[in-house]
Amino acid sequence: MTFLTISLSILLAVAIAAPADASEPEVPGRDWLEAAVAGEHRDPAKRARDQYRHPVEVLAFFGLTPDSSVVEIWPSGGWWTEILAPALRDEGVYYAAGFAMTADRTPEWRKNAQKRFAKELEARPELYDAVVTTELSVPERTTIAPPGSVDFVLTFRNVHNWIRGDYAPEMFRVMARALRPGGVLGLVTHRAPAGWTAEDTKAKGYVAEALVIEMAEAAGLALEASSEVNANPLDTHDHEAGVWTLPPGLRACREMAEGGPERQACERRYRAIGESDRMTLRFRKKAVAGVE
Protein backbone atom coordinates (compact mmCIF):
# COMPACT_ATOMS: atom_id res chain seq x y z
CA MET A 1 0.00 0.00 0.00
CA THR A 2 1.31 3.48 -0.79
CA PHE A 3 0.03 5.12 2.37
CA LEU A 4 1.25 4.31 5.87
CA THR A 5 -0.28 1.84 8.30
CA ILE A 6 1.20 1.95 11.78
CA SER A 7 1.00 -0.95 14.20
CA LEU A 8 0.39 -0.56 17.92
CA SER A 9 4.00 -1.41 18.74
CA ILE A 10 5.36 1.26 16.41
CA LEU A 11 2.92 3.84 17.73
CA LEU A 12 4.04 3.17 21.29
CA ALA A 13 7.70 3.32 20.30
CA VAL A 14 7.23 6.69 18.63
CA ALA A 15 5.43 8.02 21.67
CA ILE A 16 8.29 7.01 23.96
CA ALA A 17 11.05 8.23 21.66
CA ALA A 18 9.59 11.66 20.90
CA PRO A 19 7.54 13.22 23.71
CA ALA A 20 5.31 16.05 22.52
CA ASP A 21 6.00 19.66 23.34
CA ALA A 22 3.14 21.05 25.42
CA SER A 23 3.76 24.64 24.30
CA GLU A 24 1.27 26.26 21.94
CA PRO A 25 2.60 27.32 18.51
CA GLU A 26 1.78 30.71 17.09
CA VAL A 27 -1.20 30.34 14.77
CA PRO A 28 -0.32 31.49 11.22
CA GLY A 29 -2.62 33.15 8.74
CA ARG A 30 -5.24 31.29 6.76
CA ASP A 31 -3.43 31.27 3.42
CA TRP A 32 -2.27 27.67 3.77
CA LEU A 33 -5.80 26.52 4.63
CA GLU A 34 -7.32 28.53 1.80
CA ALA A 35 -4.84 26.96 -0.62
CA ALA A 36 -5.77 23.45 0.53
CA VAL A 37 -9.49 24.14 0.23
CA ALA A 38 -9.01 25.67 -3.23
CA GLY A 39 -6.97 22.68 -4.47
CA GLU A 40 -7.89 21.40 -7.93
CA HIS A 41 -7.70 17.82 -6.63
CA ARG A 42 -10.93 18.18 -4.67
CA ASP A 43 -14.10 16.40 -5.78
CA PRO A 44 -16.58 19.01 -7.11
CA ALA A 45 -19.43 17.33 -5.22
CA LYS A 46 -17.50 17.68 -1.98
CA ARG A 47 -16.48 21.24 -2.78
CA ALA A 48 -20.16 22.13 -3.21
CA ARG A 49 -20.65 21.49 0.52
CA ASP A 50 -18.11 24.13 1.57
CA GLN A 51 -20.98 26.59 1.95
CA TYR A 52 -22.34 24.44 4.79
CA ARG A 53 -19.14 23.07 6.33
CA HIS A 54 -16.93 26.21 6.23
CA PRO A 55 -13.60 24.34 6.24
CA VAL A 56 -11.25 27.33 6.40
CA GLU A 57 -13.13 29.00 9.23
CA VAL A 58 -13.53 25.77 11.20
CA LEU A 59 -9.89 24.68 10.98
CA ALA A 60 -8.68 28.19 11.77
CA PHE A 61 -10.98 28.27 14.81
CA PHE A 62 -9.54 24.98 16.03
CA GLY A 63 -6.05 26.48 15.66
CA LEU A 64 -4.35 24.13 13.21
CA THR A 65 -0.90 25.00 11.88
CA PRO A 66 0.98 23.49 8.91
CA ASP A 67 3.18 21.46 11.28
CA SER A 68 0.35 20.13 13.46
CA SER A 69 -0.13 16.46 14.26
CA VAL A 70 -3.82 15.74 13.67
CA VAL A 71 -6.10 12.74 14.11
CA GLU A 72 -9.38 12.72 12.23
CA ILE A 73 -11.99 10.35 13.65
CA TRP A 74 -13.71 8.16 11.06
CA PRO A 75 -12.91 10.02 7.81
CA SER A 76 -15.43 7.76 6.02
CA GLY A 77 -15.95 9.34 2.58
CA GLY A 78 -12.85 11.50 2.95
CA TRP A 79 -14.44 14.94 2.81
CA TRP A 80 -11.98 16.43 5.28
CA THR A 81 -9.15 14.14 4.16
CA GLU A 82 -9.05 15.94 0.80
CA ILE A 83 -8.18 19.10 2.72
CA LEU A 84 -6.21 17.92 5.73
CA ALA A 85 -3.91 15.35 4.14
CA PRO A 86 -2.39 17.65 1.49
CA ALA A 87 -2.26 20.59 3.91
CA LEU A 88 -0.29 18.61 6.51
CA ARG A 89 1.74 16.45 4.12
CA ASP A 90 5.01 18.40 4.16
CA GLU A 91 5.36 19.56 7.76
CA GLY A 92 2.64 17.92 9.84
CA VAL A 93 1.17 14.48 10.46
CA TYR A 94 -2.34 13.36 9.52
CA TYR A 95 -3.76 10.25 11.15
CA ALA A 96 -6.91 8.83 9.59
CA ALA A 97 -8.55 6.84 12.41
CA GLY A 98 -10.90 4.82 10.24
CA PHE A 99 -13.48 2.12 10.70
CA ALA A 100 -11.74 -0.97 12.11
CA MET A 101 -11.45 -3.69 9.47
CA THR A 102 -10.19 -6.18 12.07
CA ALA A 103 -12.88 -5.62 14.72
CA ASP A 104 -15.72 -8.11 14.99
CA ARG A 105 -18.34 -5.50 15.76
CA THR A 106 -17.65 -3.33 12.70
CA PRO A 107 -20.67 -3.71 10.36
CA GLU A 108 -20.10 -4.61 6.73
CA TRP A 109 -21.23 -1.22 5.41
CA ARG A 110 -18.48 0.45 7.44
CA LYS A 111 -15.90 -2.05 6.26
CA ASN A 112 -16.95 -1.36 2.68
CA ALA A 113 -16.66 2.38 3.28
CA GLN A 114 -13.17 1.86 4.69
CA LYS A 115 -12.15 -0.17 1.64
CA ARG A 116 -13.29 2.66 -0.64
CA PHE A 117 -11.37 5.16 1.48
CA ALA A 118 -8.19 3.04 1.24
CA LYS A 119 -8.53 2.82 -2.54
CA GLU A 120 -8.84 6.59 -2.79
CA LEU A 121 -5.63 7.00 -0.80
CA GLU A 122 -3.78 4.48 -2.94
CA ALA A 123 -4.93 6.15 -6.16
CA ARG A 124 -3.39 9.55 -5.31
CA PRO A 125 0.05 9.03 -3.71
CA GLU A 126 1.05 12.57 -4.61
CA LEU A 127 -1.57 13.72 -2.10
CA TYR A 128 -1.98 10.86 0.36
CA ASP A 129 1.32 8.96 0.60
CA ALA A 130 2.00 10.38 4.07
CA VAL A 131 -1.41 9.54 5.55
CA VAL A 132 -1.12 7.36 8.65
CA THR A 133 -4.10 5.03 8.90
CA THR A 134 -5.17 3.61 12.25
CA GLU A 135 -8.27 1.71 13.36
CA LEU A 136 -11.01 2.81 15.74
CA SER A 137 -13.75 0.60 17.12
CA VAL A 138 -14.51 0.49 20.83
CA PRO A 139 -13.72 -1.57 22.74
CA GLU A 140 -11.45 -3.61 20.43
CA ARG A 141 -9.37 -0.98 18.58
CA THR A 142 -8.72 2.21 20.53
CA THR A 143 -5.13 3.30 19.75
CA ILE A 144 -5.71 6.04 17.20
CA ALA A 145 -2.24 7.60 17.62
CA PRO A 146 0.65 7.33 20.09
CA PRO A 147 -0.87 8.06 23.51
CA GLY A 148 -0.41 11.63 24.67
CA SER A 149 1.26 12.72 21.44
CA VAL A 150 -0.97 14.62 19.02
CA ASP A 151 -1.81 18.31 18.86
CA PHE A 152 -5.37 17.86 17.59
CA VAL A 153 -8.12 15.29 17.42
CA LEU A 154 -10.95 16.31 15.09
CA THR A 155 -14.40 14.78 14.81
CA PHE A 156 -17.15 15.86 12.46
CA ARG A 157 -20.83 14.80 12.71
CA ASN A 158 -20.08 11.62 14.66
CA VAL A 159 -21.35 12.08 18.21
CA HIS A 160 -24.92 11.06 17.42
CA ASN A 161 -23.65 7.73 16.09
CA TRP A 162 -21.75 7.08 19.31
CA ILE A 163 -24.80 7.89 21.40
CA ARG A 164 -26.95 5.60 19.29
CA GLY A 165 -24.37 2.86 19.82
CA ASP A 166 -24.17 3.47 23.59
CA TYR A 167 -20.40 4.01 23.58
CA ALA A 168 -20.07 7.81 23.42
CA PRO A 169 -18.25 8.28 26.78
CA GLU A 170 -15.59 5.75 25.77
CA MET A 171 -15.03 7.54 22.45
CA PHE A 172 -14.29 10.76 24.31
CA ARG A 173 -11.79 8.90 26.50
CA VAL A 174 -10.13 7.45 23.40
CA MET A 175 -9.74 10.92 21.89
CA ALA A 176 -8.42 12.39 25.13
CA ARG A 177 -5.80 9.64 25.48
CA ALA A 178 -4.32 10.48 22.08
CA LEU A 179 -3.94 14.19 22.84
CA ARG A 180 -0.83 15.66 24.40
CA PRO A 181 -1.38 17.76 27.54
CA GLY A 182 -2.77 21.04 26.24
CA GLY A 183 -3.84 19.43 22.97
CA VAL A 184 -7.14 20.31 21.33
CA LEU A 185 -10.28 18.35 20.54
CA GLY A 186 -12.12 20.07 17.70
CA LEU A 187 -15.72 18.92 17.43
CA VAL A 188 -18.56 19.63 15.03
CA THR A 189 -21.88 17.84 15.36
CA HIS A 190 -25.62 18.27 14.85
CA ARG A 191 -27.00 20.57 17.56
CA ALA A 192 -30.25 19.88 19.40
CA PRO A 193 -32.29 22.43 21.34
CA ALA A 194 -31.45 22.60 25.03
CA GLY A 195 -33.02 19.84 27.07
CA TRP A 196 -32.87 17.05 24.52
CA THR A 197 -31.97 13.65 25.99
CA ALA A 198 -29.83 10.82 24.66
CA GLU A 199 -33.04 9.05 23.68
CA ASP A 200 -34.06 12.08 21.61
CA THR A 201 -30.67 11.91 19.90
CA LYS A 202 -31.13 8.24 19.08
CA ALA A 203 -34.42 9.06 17.37
CA LYS A 204 -33.57 12.32 15.60
CA GLY A 205 -29.76 12.59 15.36
CA TYR A 206 -29.37 16.00 17.00
CA VAL A 207 -27.27 16.22 20.19
CA ALA A 208 -27.65 18.54 23.17
CA GLU A 209 -24.57 20.71 23.58
CA ALA A 210 -24.67 20.23 27.36
CA LEU A 211 -24.37 16.45 26.92
CA VAL A 212 -21.33 16.82 24.65
CA ILE A 213 -19.64 19.12 27.15
CA GLU A 214 -20.44 16.74 30.01
CA MET A 215 -18.86 13.75 28.24
CA ALA A 216 -15.81 15.75 27.18
CA GLU A 217 -15.21 17.10 30.66
CA ALA A 218 -15.53 13.60 32.14
CA ALA A 219 -12.69 12.56 29.80
CA GLY A 220 -10.43 15.38 30.99
CA LEU A 221 -11.21 17.92 28.28
CA ALA A 222 -12.16 21.50 29.15
CA LEU A 223 -14.38 23.59 26.88
CA GLU A 224 -12.29 26.52 25.71
CA ALA A 225 -14.43 28.19 23.04
CA SER A 226 -17.42 27.75 20.76
CA SER A 227 -18.20 29.14 17.32
CA GLU A 228 -21.44 29.79 15.49
CA VAL A 229 -19.83 29.35 12.07
CA ASN A 230 -21.91 26.21 11.44
CA ALA A 231 -25.16 27.50 12.94
CA ASN A 232 -28.28 27.28 10.77
CA PRO A 233 -31.25 29.28 12.09
CA LEU A 234 -33.49 27.79 9.37
CA ASP A 235 -33.15 24.32 10.88
CA THR A 236 -36.17 23.71 13.13
CA HIS A 237 -34.84 20.35 14.42
CA ASP A 238 -38.29 18.74 14.11
CA HIS A 239 -38.12 17.06 10.69
CA GLU A 240 -40.02 13.83 10.11
CA ALA A 241 -36.89 11.77 9.40
CA GLY A 242 -34.72 13.61 11.90
CA VAL A 243 -31.49 15.30 10.90
CA TRP A 244 -31.24 12.91 7.94
CA THR A 245 -34.20 14.75 6.38
CA LEU A 246 -31.89 17.61 5.42
CA PRO A 247 -29.13 17.61 2.79
CA PRO A 248 -27.11 15.72 1.91
CA GLY A 249 -29.26 12.73 2.86
CA LEU A 250 -32.76 14.05 2.05
CA ARG A 251 -34.14 10.85 3.59
CA ALA A 252 -37.75 12.03 3.68
CA CYS A 253 -37.73 12.39 -0.11
CA ARG A 254 -36.18 9.03 -0.98
CA GLU A 255 -39.36 6.97 -1.15
CA MET A 256 -40.95 9.33 -3.64
CA ALA A 257 -40.70 8.60 -7.36
CA GLU A 258 -37.31 9.73 -8.61
CA GLY A 259 -37.64 12.77 -10.84
CA GLY A 260 -41.33 13.13 -10.06
CA PRO A 261 -42.88 16.47 -9.07
CA GLU A 262 -43.51 15.38 -5.48
CA ARG A 263 -39.89 14.41 -4.94
CA GLN A 264 -38.62 17.54 -6.65
CA ALA A 265 -40.78 19.69 -4.37
CA CYS A 266 -39.58 17.76 -1.33
CA GLU A 267 -35.94 18.21 -2.25
CA ARG A 268 -36.41 21.92 -2.99
CA ARG A 269 -38.04 22.38 0.41
CA TYR A 270 -35.16 20.87 2.36
CA ARG A 271 -32.38 22.22 0.18
CA ALA A 272 -33.78 25.68 0.93
CA ILE A 273 -33.11 24.99 4.61
CA GLY A 274 -29.61 23.68 3.97
CA GLU A 275 -27.56 21.31 6.08
CA SER A 276 -28.15 20.90 9.80
CA ASP A 277 -27.65 23.39 12.59
CA ARG A 278 -24.31 22.41 14.17
CA MET A 279 -22.28 23.17 17.24
CA THR A 280 -18.57 23.87 16.74
CA LEU A 281 -16.61 23.41 19.96
CA ARG A 282 -12.94 23.59 20.95
CA PHE A 283 -11.82 21.61 23.99
CA ARG A 284 -8.36 21.53 25.52
CA LYS A 285 -6.85 18.57 27.34
CA LYS A 286 -6.21 19.40 30.95
CA ALA A 287 -2.56 19.19 31.95
CA VAL A 288 -3.39 17.46 35.23
CA ALA A 289 -1.71 14.40 36.71
CA GLY A 290 -3.89 11.33 36.45
CA VAL A 291 -5.79 12.43 33.33
CA GLU A 292 -5.14 9.91 30.57
Pick 257 or 19 by higher pLDDT: 257
Would you call the peptide bond into 139 cis, given omega within 30 degrees of 0 as the criterion?
yes
Predicted local confidence at residue 21, as pLDDT: 40
pLDDT digits (tens, 9 = 90+) for 223-281: 999 999 999 999 999 999 999 999 999 999 998 999 999 999 999 999 999 999 999 99
DSSP string, the chain: --SEE--HHHHHHHHHHSPPP-SPPPP--SHHHHHHHT-TTS-HHHHTTHHHH-HHHHHHHHT--TT-EEEEE--TTTTTHHHHHHHHTTTSEEEEEEE-TT-TTS-HHHHHHHHHHHHHHHH-HHHHTT-EEEEEBTTTB---SSTT-EEEEEEES-HHHHHHTT-HHHHHHHHHHHEEEEEEEEEEEEEEPTT--HHHHHHH--EEHHHHHHHHHHTTEEEEEEE-TT--TT--S--TTGGGGSTTT-GGGTTSPTTSHHHHHHHHHHHHH-SPPEEEEEEEE---TT--
How far is the C-alpha of 286 from the C-alpha of 179, rounded, in Å?
10
Tell me what the pLDDT averaged over the chain comes to: 91
128 and 121 Cβ atoms separated by less than 8 Å: yes
pTM equals 0.89
Looking at residue 28, its pLDDT comes to 59
pLDDT for the residue 288: 61
Instruction: List domains and CATH numbers for the chain.
Output: 4-235+277-285 (3.40.50.150)
pLDDT in tens, 42-91: 999 999 999 999 999 999 999 999 999 999 999 999 999 999 999 999 99
pLDDT tens-digit map of 119-150? 999 999 999 999 999 999 999 999 999 999 99
Binning pLDDT at 50, 70 and 90, where does residue 15 land?
Answer: very low
**Residue 162: pLDDT above 70?**
yes
Q: Phi/psi at 255 (nearest 5 deg)? A: -80, -5
Q: Quick one: what percent of the chain has pLDDT higher than 70?
A: 89
What percent of the chain shows pLDDT beyond 90?
86
